[in-house]
Amino acid sequence: MQAPAVGGIQAPRGNGKAVRLPQGASLTDFAEKIGANPAALVQIMLHLGEMVTATQSVNEETLKLLGAELDFDVQVVSPEDEDRELLESFDIEFGEDEGGEESLQVRPPVVTVMGHVDHGKTKLLDAIRNTNLVAGEAGGITQHIGAYQVATEVDGQERKITFIDTPGHEAFTAMRARGAETTDLVVLVVAADDGVKPQTTEAIDHATAAGVPIVVAVNKIDKEGADPAKVRAQLTEYGLVAEEFGGQTLFVDVSAKQGLHLEDLLEAIVLTADAELDLKANPDQPAQGVAIEAHLDRGRGSVATVLVQRGTLRVGDSIVCGGAYGRVRAMLDENFNPVEDAPPSRPVQVLGLTAVPGAGDNFLVVDDDRVARQIADRRAARKRNAELLKSPARRTLEDILKGEVQELLLIVKGDVSGSVEALEDSLLKIDVGDEVGLRVIRRGVGAITQDDVNLALTSEGTVIIGFNVRPERNAQELAEREGVDIRYYSVIYQAIEEVEAALKGMLKPEFEEAQLGTAEVREIFRVPRVGNIAGSMVLSGTINRNGKARLIRDGVVVADNLTVSSLRRFKDDATEVREGFECGIGVGYNDIKIGDVIETFEMREKLRD
């Protein structure tokens, strides 16, 4: 059925020729590649039942559909591939160590702490951080940079470990989703008084999917009711078998609160890394790595915590990080002390970038500022396209006309880019069916501004989410005046729950039919000015006046959408007649025959699960 769909619109045909398009390309991009008129492609899509504008980003499915129609072999290039190609065009290879085996040196493991909410991830990260601070530095540095490194002694040798300081699997999966494999090893925290819980098993799944070994920290052993043996027994079911049960997994009983056995945990991490991983990197090359979190500081500008994965990062280097670039003006460690160079696995705060990169963006050192700028500009342009693509599932013209697709628009603002992305990622995963979609129209780091509220005002019903941030005063006033809904959260789960509830609330109620009664027609009475009345016997249930009804003859519906307009027992009006009684029923329909069945029903709202 190809010819009629194109409907005589002029467009070149590809005869199977390949066309490469980036994710998030528009019909205009497509048209440019094949030398067609964008308007013609818009029309063809309309014929195919989809309404898209020429400049709108469309998804892969749409590009392929259009390609098939015009006989082009559309290949959609992933952002990772695209980025690799972009860097290759500058003669840069990302993600591989330069040189051979002999240039590699052992690097510390990078650890993420995961586990069920309230099992003590944050407390454990704080406890490890505080007990291992260099002497004299202690004294309540409460600010975190998103990652830190500690040292421990194993077999008489000093060994370092890097912890990602944003606990939870959201951050972990958000990073992975962006192709940033930052974690070498997962510490799974399980509270000894609570045992294995849903997010415990989720964490195991994520770690397993990433092929990352797990060390189990059985936490809160100081608490009454703590049962570390039970935790070990429970986890065997998930393939985590403790050494003492003949397995491979190291379990360490700890108390984050009392600081018990934290050194043992660090040792278990080092031993597991040594046994299962071969962590090496070349420290003598231009640095590459990944941004862990970033924010805008009033005084210092863009502040990004990056994890060096290979090479050594130095003050003065020209770097590009996602869509941001610049010269490293200064580097700070987790204690806010200046650092001159950062070798592999070292997290540092970098000052000097022109913009705030996203968590999970890769960074690399390049030869000069000009190259950094070119790469950053091209990435930024691509990111804008990709953001536009974050529209809901494809809609057909019909859906839009019938108003069947509803959309919740969100603006997400947060304190650090890591949390904004983790939150957005989780929100976009909420799925309550096809009728209702969710779209994040803006995301950003920092307070909620007047501009955010203005953007919310452009589309009715847009909700602003503040994650650990508050609105600026004029923004709050504007929001109150205009009735823009701003919600504040500091826990990702709460935000997810509420948004999910909101989405469910947007679902139109679904109705199902419930049969109320049936009656068999035994006689027909002709009543002047009223029409035919069916003298009937109620066979089941009840017949109600004003109820919905249909007429069935020999098992076939002959008339639907009827209403019981009159109901009588003998000469009297009745509101309801029950099974086993005779009555006269008028349904405003004259073609009634003896033996017909009148069925009454009502529509009840179906509960959604």
**Residue 108 vs 115, nearer CB to ligand GDP:** 115
Buried residues in 43-63 as b, exposed as e (16+ CB within 10 A) = bbbeebebebebebbbbbebb
Helix residue ranges per DSSP H, 390-471: 397-402, 417-429, 450-458
In the shown chain, the binding pattern of residues 334 to 363 toward ligand GDP, with x for contact by CB under 6 A and - for none, equals: ------------------------------
Measure Cα distances from 334 to 142, 256, 312 in Å: 11, 20, 17
The one segment of 104-112, 207-215, 219-227, 412-420 that binds ligand GDP by CB under 6 A: 219-227
Measure Cα distances from 201 to 165, 265, 446, 531 in Å: 21, 20, 33, 68
**Residue 126 vs 576, nearer CB to ligand GDP:** 126
CB of 249 to ligand GDP, least distance (A): 20
In the shown chain, the binding pattern of residues 222 to 261 toward ligand GDP, with x for contact by CB under 6 A and - for none, equals: xx-------------------------------xxx----
Residue 121 in the binding site for ligand GDP (CB under 6 A): yes
**Residue 257 vs 327, nearer CB to ligand GDP:** 257
Residue 413 in the binding site for ligand GDP (CB under 6 A): no
In the shown chain, the binding pattern of residues 291 to 330 toward ligand GDP, with x for contact by CB under 6 A and - for none, equals: ----------------------------------------
Residues of this chain, 147-176, that bind ligand GDP according to CB under 6 A: 167
The one segment of 112-120, 238-246, 416-424, 495-503 that binds ligand GDP by CB under 6 A: 112-120
Residue 118 in the binding site for ligand GDP (CB under 6 A): yes
- Exactly one of 206, 220, 379, 545 binds ligand GDP (CB under 6 A); that residue is 220
Are the CB atoms for 578 and 542 separated by under 8 Å?
A: yes
Q: Is 274 helix (H, G, I), strand (E, B) or coil?
A: helix
- Exactly one of 28, 219, 249, 288 binds ligand GDP (CB under 6 A); that residue is 219
Return the closest-CA partner of residue 427 out of 445, 436, 440, 416: 440
**Residue 255 vs 566, nearer CB to ligand GDP:** 255
Provide the β-strand partners of residue 284. Answer: none
**Residue 122 vs 248, nearer CB to ligand GDP:** 122
User: Can you say whether the dihedral through the CA atoms of 370, 375, 380, 385 is positive or negative?
Assistant: positive
The one segment of 5-13, 64-72, 217-225, 567-575 that binds ligand GDP by CB under 6 A: 217-225
- Exactly one of 56, 59, 75, 122 binds ligand GDP (CB under 6 A); that residue is 122
DSSP letter for 506, please. H
Structure tokens at 431: 């799925």
Residue 213 in the binding site for ligand GDP (CB under 6 A): no
CB of 135 to ligand GDP, least distance (A): 24
CB of 124 to ligand GDP, least distance (A): 7
Measure Cα distances from 500 to 117, 283, 436, 437, 491 in Å: 19, 46, 11, 11, 15
The one segment of 54-62, 121-129, 143-151, 358-366 that binds ligand GDP by CB under 6 A: 121-129
Residue 129 in the binding site for ligand GDP (CB under 6 A): no
**Residue 220 vs 443, nearer CB to ligand GDP:** 220
Q: Is 266 helix (H, G, I), strand (E, B) or coil?
A: helix
Return the closest-CA partner of residue 359 out of 606, 538, 168: 168
Are the CB atoms for 453 and 522 separated by under 8 Å?
A: no
């519906």: which residue's tokens? Answer: 557
Return the closest-CA partner of residue 500 out of 441, 427, 609: 427
**Residue 53 vs 490, nearer CB to ligand GDP:** 490
Residue 138 in the binding site for ligand GDP (CB under 6 A): no
Residue 117 in the binding site for ligand GDP (CB under 6 A): yes
**Residue 69 vs 253, nearer CB to ligand GDP:** 253
Residue 419 in the binding site for ligand GDP (CB under 6 A): no
Q: How far apart are CA 195 and CA 479, in angstroms?
A: 44
**Residue 57 vs 200, nearer CB to ligand GDP:** 200
How many other CB atoms are found less than 10 A from the CB of residue 440?
19
- Taken as a whole, the chain contains a residue count of 609
- At residue 376's C-alpha, the angle toward residues 371 and 379, to 5°, is 130
**Residue 190 vs 409, nearer CB to ligand GDP:** 190
For residue 381, which phi and psi values (nearest 5 degrees)?
-65, -40
Residue 199 in the binding site for ligand GDP (CB under 6 A): no
The one segment of 60-68, 119-127, 152-160, 419-427 that binds ligand GDP by CB under 6 A: 119-127
> Could you tell me which residues come within 8 angstroms of residue 237 by beta carbon, excluding any fewer than 6 positions away?
none
**Residue 249 vs 255, nearer CB to ligand GDP:** 255
The number of residues that bind ligand GDP (CB under 6 A) is 16
> Could you tell me which residues come within 8 angstroms of residue 502 by beta carbon, excluding any fewer than 6 positions away?
408, 463
Return the closest-CA partner of residue 82 out of 304, 365, 382, 367: 382
Which residue's beta carbon is nearest to the bound ligand GDP? 120
CB of 167 to ligand GDP, least distance (A): 5
- List of residues contacting ligand GDP (CB under 6 A): 115, 117-123, 167, 219-220, 222-223, 255-257
